[in-house]
């Protein structure tokens, strides 16, 4: 997979892709990630990439020309272009799985007050990572890349992500424990020490369901079998 990220602040990504699983995926050529400062594409003599909004209002709006030119240079036949914006559809695990099968992603990081609406004409998917506003799309871009790259075959053990939260009936993950058996008076549940894999499976499902009901009941709405 190839991922191109359009940003005004490439230094924000220092470290994010230089550690842990993402770095290993890059080193093993499972993914290629490149950062592009779209200020380098502006034709404005002063290097501007934004301007005041028509109709008035606070802040500055990203201009079409630099982003159009950058995307047009990078885009291929099998490219999916993503725009990160609070008005996009809410990012979920299923979208991460779908995107992990793409050959080439271009991710556009918004900034300032917003972007010229005409930029949407070259975008395939508008995404939001949550119902809140950040200073720009750089941190959401890191979230996308991390969540997608770990799903690429060979990056991590497949079973590790198949048992993630949100994968099975959109339930949260069950509680996990490791050694020691007792820590500060808190004991590991006996069923996990029983060796009975069917009972362990049943316990884990029930705990996932219980945790989801308590913490994210919204995930269960519309599925009568889990109520």
Domain range for 214 is: 165-226
Q: Which of 149, 180, 210 marks a domain boundary?
A: 149
Instruction: Kindly state whether residue 155 falls inside one of the protein's structural domains.
Output: no
Confidence of residue 116 (pLDDT cuts 50, 70, 90): very high
Q: What is the CATH number of the domain that holds 139?
A: 3.40.1280.10
Interatomic CA distance for residues 226 and 211, integer angstroms: 12
List pLDDT tens digits, range 7-20: 999 999 999 999 99
Residues 30 and 95 in one domain: yes
Instruction: Kindly state whether residue 160 falls inside one of the protein's structural domains.
Output: no
Residues 50 and 122 in one domain: yes
Counted domains in the chain: 2
What rounded mean pLDDT belongs to the chain?
Answer: 91
pLDDT at residue 159, as a whole number: 59
Instruction: Kindly state whether residue 158 falls inside one of the protein's structural domains.
Output: no
Strand partners, 7: 37
Q: Is 148 exposed, middle or buried (0-12, 13-18, 19+ CB in 10 A)?
A: buried
Q: What is the CATH number of the domain that holds 216?
A: 1.10.1270.20
CA–chain centroid gap for 188, Å, is: 33
Is 96 within 8 Å of 151 (Cβ atoms)? yes
Tell me how many degrees the CA angle 161-163-165 measures, rounded to the nearest 5.
90
Residues 115 and 37 in one domain: yes
Both structure tokens of 72: 């047009």
Section 102-122 average pLDDT: 92
Instruction: Kindly state whether residue 156 falls inside one of the protein's structural domains.
Output: no
Write the Ramachandran bin of 198: left for phi over 0, alpha for psi from -120 to 50, otherwise beta: alpha
Confidence of residue 202 (pLDDT cuts 50, 70, 90): very high
Instruction: Kindly state whether residue 83 falls inside one of the protein's structural domains.
Output: yes
């Amino acid at each position: 997979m190839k991922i191109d990220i359009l940003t005004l602040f490439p230094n924000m990504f220092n470290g994010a892709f230089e550690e842990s699983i993402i770095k290993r995926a890059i080193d093993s050529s499972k993914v290629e990630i490149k950062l592009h400062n779209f200020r380098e594409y502006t034709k404005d003599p002063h290097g501007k990439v934004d301007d005041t909004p028509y109709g008035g209002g606070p802040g500055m709006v990203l201009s079409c020309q630099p982003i159009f030119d950058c995307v047009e240079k990078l885009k291929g036949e099998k490219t999916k272009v993503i725009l990160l914006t609070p008005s996009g559809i809410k990012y979920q695990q299923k979208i991460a799985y779908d995107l992990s099968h793409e050959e080439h992603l271009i991710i556009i990081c918004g900034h300032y007050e917003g972007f010229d609406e005409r930029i949407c004409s070259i975008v395939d998917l508008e995404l939001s990572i949550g119902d809140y506003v950040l200073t720009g799309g750089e941190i959401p871009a890191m979230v996308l890349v991390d969540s997608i790259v770990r799903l690429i075959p060979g990056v991590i053990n497949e079973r590790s992500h198949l048992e993630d939260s949100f994968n099975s009936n959109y339930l949260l993950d069950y509680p996990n424990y490791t050694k020691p058996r007792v820590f500060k008076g808190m004991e590991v549940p006996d069923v996990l020490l029983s060796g009975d894999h069917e009972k362990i499976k049943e316990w884990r499902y029930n705990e996932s369901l219980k945790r989801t009901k308590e913490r994210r009941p919204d995930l269960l709405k519309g599925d009568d079998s889990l109520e």
